[in-house]
Structure 1
Amino acid sequence: MGNKNACIIVDLRSGEHLVHVPEIVTVLSAAGWKTDVALKEYGGETLQLAQKAAKENYALVISYGGDGTLNALLNGTMYGQGKGTIADIPGGTFNVWAKAIEIPEDPVKAALALVDCEPRSLDLGHLEATGLTSANASKGIQPPVTNGKKSKKSKESTKTRHYFLLNVGIGLDAAMMAHMSKPLKYRVGPLAFDLAAAKELPRQRPFPVELQQTDDKGNVITHWRGDVWEAYVSKVPLFAGAVNVEPSSRADDGLLYVTLITANGPLKTIGQAVSLLTQHKPDRNVTTFFHGTHFSLRIPASIDVQVDGSAVKPEDLLPEAEQRSLQQSNDSEQMLIDYHFDIRPKALHMAVPRTYAGPLFEKTSQKENPAPHEQLPLADQQPANTSQQTHPQREEQTSTRQKPAYSIEVIGSIAPQGKQPTIIVAGKFKKQDTDEVQVLAVRVNKRTQVLNQTGEHVSPAGLLALQEGQKILAEGKKTKRGVIKATCVRLAD
């Protein structure tokens, strides 16, 4: 990317994220990125911040929060017609997407992985609620859209979430999300989901669903009616980070996958629950599956909805006239909402580690990952001054060249692809006068000398084999962002 301006949108939650933001910025700065920070302080603000970032043409917009923050960011990007790449650094209770593409949970390691990501074209699902009818007057769903275009019946609000990267759940899982205690979620993490499940399961009842699948011209391909516990529309096979709903689905295959967990009596329902808990997949004997590009589901307005793990009020998805009608209704169970799902092929670019080789994508990475020695063509060449041995000391001392040296406890290292061969080593530096610990990023290029413990020159590519907790001494100028432009690096232990 020619433009290396980035924006990181941070979900402050209770404030624990903020301390790691400078560390992330340090790593990005070492990779040549100029990063601005936007802080989400109240609900719904992420959408606004993402729209603003899209209009300011950042090349990279980073979500630092959970899956809900990521979903709000991609919705804001779509509403703002952003052309940049979206990235995700996990910082929430649930981080299904980050885990799926193998982004580490540690924010510094995540930033290191991010600087060696590549943009992948991903599909998005699109959700729209365009109709409200009485259960007594239901006459079948009207196919809403053709050729994947938005319906002209309603104007899409940019204040709610219509696009999804992972899934939309209607029913059991959404009820758990809607009634989960946020303070408890922040305190105990995923355990809050289990507690919400134990509370909500006895209250749940099957509900009627009418499904129609249509082709691009609006012709009905499939029609299905029945009672279900859950209607699940997904773009990827993941649910709650562990359950594999539809193994054949891919993030770039141009299809949507609908899973209906049907109501078939108490014994089969118990069997379904056991299958989800023990085998992490639905029991296919009591589950109905569909895949295609356009679906319509007619479902009671009383049933909860979640989009990428965030609860969404069904009425918020409706046009204003239908919202008023629903509010005036005395019985939401007798009012039915028509939900329409369409695929948006290759809707946006997502940053995915070059090393990722998992099953999420139908198409492989466009570029093969070069070996470290291929990325660093001069790694095995001896610098011109090999006869001189540099022995850096700690910060309070100086080397023979009178340059400061920093004792760094390694967190991780990466060799991002780029025009100039570079290795970035991130680690902790403890100031001896204050005991303050700061994360620094050491930038190593072809002009940097790399020495072992005895002062002998070694290949810079060996820095990629450093283990967490090992120490190095880095000599060079430190920038205000905490980047050391190393002239010499020595392996300390």
Structure 2
Amino acid sequence: MRALLVVNPKATTTSGRTRDVLTHALRSDLKLEVAHTEYRGHARDLARSAAEDGTVDLVVALGGDGTVNEVVNGLLAHGPADRLPRLAVVPGGSTNVFARALGLPNDPVEATGALLDALEHRRERAISLGKAMTEGVPDRWFTFTAGLGFDAGVVGRVEEQRKAGRKSTHALYVNQALRHYVTEREHRRSGPITLELNGQEPVPGLVMTIVSNTSPWTYLGNRPVLPSPGASFEKDLDVFGITRMTAFGTARTVRQILRSHTPADTAERPVGPRGKHVVSYHDVRHFTLVSEEPAPFQVDGDHLGDRSRVSFTGVRRALRVIV
């Protein structure tokens, strides 16, 4: 099997020695080519070339969620197709939501062992993905989440801190979330975002909106964060939103999304957060988020600037992943 290993040399938790060990292990079973990313978007370009080449069977992403997202967007540059290379992931970032949501070990060495075992037994899985569309800019596929509003603003603040030399940690995210909460007082009371769903009344006044393609949304250390616990790689998209972020209400919602969720007696899926200012939709294929003013936007933890209108669609069986 011919494979391309796309390595992010700046991956948070992977040393050069670990990368060498992983490369050697993969070469024992694969005809492997290794490419190191050199700039933002390079992983996308490498994966796109591999997909267009037609002779690559597998693309392995070694890095964090940002590297995985770039590889996915490269593979799907021309849309889903049966002939596309399969995707495999070896986690190397600080959180690795996508890999962990697939059930992979969070340790890169253990994940490599799991990958080799999956290849030996030909285990793969077709998963759904989300696609975000804004007029005038390229569409963006996402593997586990997208967001417009407050949560994307936090992601933007974290990226600024990382550019200034701070290491990406869970403590950094929590710190920046608290700072963002303090500075966004006006928007916490009356959000600028409206959710438009086909055939339904618009939902205005959203402070933040989280679009989920799977669950959990993210992790705090080893603890999953679950705003949409029913989201799944086998379904379309889930939407979670908050129309007002008071101190008491926000604390209550945070407690809800950090607890374990089990299905209610009469429910077919886990019950997520509830409350007066909570908005939740499950398994939605098409919808649009519109903001009265440009709002921060992110996909898979990558801040993409401000957007005023973003349409979303869920695409089932968009990509096959080795698991």
Provide the TM-score with structure 2 as the length reference: 0.82
Higher relative helix content: 2
Match of 2:291 among 299, 322, 327: 299
AA at the equivalent of 2:144: L
Q: 1:234-249 maps to which residues of 2 (within 5 A)?
A: 234-241=212-219, 242-249=224-231
**Aligned twin of 2:194:** 210
Match of 2:39 in 1: 42
* CA displacement at 1:266 relative to structure 2: 4.5
Whole-Å separation in 1 of the counterparts to 2:290 and 2:11: 39
Contact 1:184 1:192 in 2 (8 A): no
Q: Which residue of 1 aligns with 2:175?
A: 195
The offset of 1:69, in angstroms, is: 0.8
**Partner of 1:182 in structure 2?**
162
Structure 2 equivalent of residue 275 of structure 1: 256
Kindly provide the amino acid, as one letter, of the partner of residue 97 in structure 1.
F
Partner Cα distance (2:165, 2:218) in 1:
14
Contact 1:52 1:80 in 2 (8 A): no
Q: For residue 287 of structure 1, what is the aligned residue in structure 2?
A: 278
Cα offset for 1:170? 1.3
Do the aligned residues in 1 keep the contact of 2:101 with 2:215 (CA within 8 Å)?
A: no
What is the rounded CA distance, in whole Å, between the counterparts of 1:186 and 1:59 in structure 2?
A: 37
2:7 to 5, 10, 13: 10
Residue 312 of structure 1: how far off its partner (Å): 0.9
Map of 2:67 onto structure 1: 69
Distance 2:61 2:252 in 1: 38
d(CA) in 1 for partners of 2:166, 2:100: 18
Q: Distance in 1 between matches of 2:205 and 2:84?
A: 42
Q: Greater relative contact order: 1 or 2 (C-alpha under 8 angstroms, separation 6 or more)?
A: 2
Aligned residue for 2:53?
Answer: 56
The answer on whether the counterparts of 2:6 and 2:46 sit within 8 Å (CA) in structure 1 is yes
- The residue number in structure 1 matching 2:266 is none
Q: Does 1:222 align with 2:200?
A: yes
Q: Distance in 1 between matches of 2:130 and 2:41?
A: 20
CA contact (8 A) 1:12 1:39 kept: yes
Q: In 2, Cα distance between the equivalents of 1:301 and 1:179?
A: 19
* Structure 1 unaligned residues grouped into runs of 5+: 131-153, 215-220, 316-336, 353-493
Aligned residues: 293
Give distance in 2, aligned partners of 1:170 and 1:62: 29
Shift of the alpha carbon at 1:115? 1.4
Q: Structure 2, unaligned stretches of length 5 or more?
A: 262-270
Cα displacement string for residues 106-159 of structure 1 (whole angstroms, at most 9, x for unaligned residues): 3222111001222211111111123xxxxxxxxxxxxxxxxxxxxxxx6x63xx
Query: CA separation in 2, counterparts of 1:301 and 1:48?
Result: 32
Q: CA deviation at 1:304?
A: 0.8
Distance 1:36 1:129, change over 3 A: same
Partner SS for 1:114:
helix
Q: Distance in 2 between matches of 1:186 and 1:282?
A: 33
The question of 1:250 aligning with 2:232 is answered yes
Amino acid at match of 2:70: A
Opposite residue 53 of structure 1, the aligned amino acid is A
Q: Indicate the structure (1 or 2) with the bigger Cα radius of gyration.
A: 1
- Match runs of 1:121-160 below 5 Å: 121-130=126-135, 157=138
1:278 deviation in Å? 5.8
- Residues 254-280 of structure 1 show CA distances to partners (whole Å, capped at 9, x for unaligned) of x21111122165432342234345668
Cα distance in 2 for residues equivalent to 1:50 and 1:72: 8
Q: Partner residue of 1:350?
A: 321
Secondary structure at the counterpart of residue 304 of structure 1: strand
Q: CA deviation at 1:348?
A: 0.9
